[in-house]
């Protein structure tokens, strides 16, 4: 079950906006993400809130895993979007692993717009991680 997250609290994706004005409408279906970056942010926030259904539903059928466990104790500490161009988003996500250590990784994700005209939606295809790094304070 996804956590109920108060709409007035700041969005976990780090946009500086409230959840209700940022990723919330993507999660409740009232405003599907219009760009790869908004989808990427909404997926990050879904990971942070344990919203397995949203993560799987926005995953391209050709690369979607059959199951996903978001209850392993990983905490999502922050997201930085470096660049969004065309169908790619370059970002760094910071995590706290179940064992307690902090970890951050940089990834370039690829997205694709699928569906019929009028019902088109962005989905996540895959991502290439590079520059794996330990979290550095500051």
Site residues for Zn ion per CB under 5 A: 11, 13, 15, 22-23, 41, 45
Q: What 3-state class would DSSP assign to 18?
A: strand
Residue 80 CB, shortest distance to Zn ion, in Å, is 13
Residue 111, CB-side half-sphere exposure with 13 Å CA sphere: 24
CA distance linking residue 32 with residue 59, whole number of Å: 14
Per the CB < 8 A criterion, the answer to whether 55 and 46 are in contact is yes
Closer CB to Zn ion, 13 or 49, in the complex? 13
Which helix (H) or strand (E) is 26 found in, with range?
Answer: helix 24-27
Closer CB to Zn ion, 22 or 95, in the complex? 22
Phi, psi at 53, each rounded to 5°: -60, -45
Closer CB to Zn ion, 15 or 58, in the complex? 15
Residue 85 CB, shortest distance to Zn ion, in Å, is 20
CA distance linking residue 110 with residue 126, whole number of Å: 5
Residue 10 CB, shortest distance to Zn ion, in Å, is 9
Closer CB to Zn ion, 22 or 39, in the complex? 22
Residue 7 CB, shortest distance to Zn ion, in Å, is 11
């Amino acid at each position: 079950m996804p956590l109920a997250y108060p709409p007035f609290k700041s969005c976990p994706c780090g946009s500086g906006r409230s959840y209700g004005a940022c990723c919330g409408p993507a999660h409740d279906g009232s405003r599907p993400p219009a760009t790869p970056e908004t989808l990427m942010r909404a997926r990050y926030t879904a990971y942070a809130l344990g919203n397995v259904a949203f993560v799987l539903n926005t995953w391209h059928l050709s690369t979607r895993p059959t199951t996903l466990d978001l209850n392993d104790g990983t905490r999502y500490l922050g997201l930085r979007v470096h660049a969004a161009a065309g169908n790619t988003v370059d970002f760094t996500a910071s995590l706290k692993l179940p064992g307690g250590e902090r970890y951050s990784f940089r990834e370039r994700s690829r997205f694709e717009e699928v569906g019929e005209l009028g019902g088109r939606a962005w989905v996540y295809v895959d991502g290439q991680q590079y520059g794996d790094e330990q979290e550095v304070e500051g």
